[in-house]
Amino acid sequence: MRSRAKIIVKGDVQETGYRALVRKTARKLKLVGFVENLQDGRVRIVCEGERQSIIELCKKIRVKDEFIHVTSIRKRFSEHKGEFRGFVVMTGDLASEMFQGYATAGKYFRSLGEKVDRVGDKVDCVGRESVVQKTE
């Protein structure tokens, strides 16, 4: 059964690459519509497709990782309207989008730097104990 859903996502979901993740996931599920940032830090998704695919989307975008932390997803179903052709990311003004992109990149690069600093450490495992030795 084809349906339409308005989905509101709360949590740390802006400046994280979350909209791109939603777009990719929605397209794989053959949904159409859009995703956008809201001024209050939430993300809004409006999509249409098979009801079960919309339910699956909500499961797949409930992310908790190093950068994205979804705290709640609220969805409201309504009648399918057939107004979308694809699934897109709605963007704000260029300056705002550039700022968000740089902020997202900064998070990822800082994390990468922390991981690279640990490369080269030697780990010896004995039984259940792990000993990390700095290499020089």
Tell me the CB-side half-sphere exposure of residue 104, using CA atoms within 13 A.
16
Residue from 2, 19, 27, 128 carrying the catalytic annotation: 19
Phi first, then psi, for residue 21 (nearest 5°) are -65, -45
Residue from 37, 62, 76, 118 carrying the catalytic annotation: 37
The reported pTM is 0.78
98-130: pLDDT as tens digits: 888 888 888 888 877 766 656 566 555 555 555
Dist CA 9 CA 71 (whole Å): 8
63-96: pLDDT as tens digits: 999 999 999 999 999 999 999 999 999 998 888 8
**Is 37 annotated in the active site?**
yes
**Is 27 annotated in the active site?**
no
Phi first, then psi, for residue 123 (nearest 5°) are -115, 120
Per-residue tokens: 106: 């900064």
Q: Which domains does the chain have, with CATH numbers?
A: 2-116 (3.30.70.100)
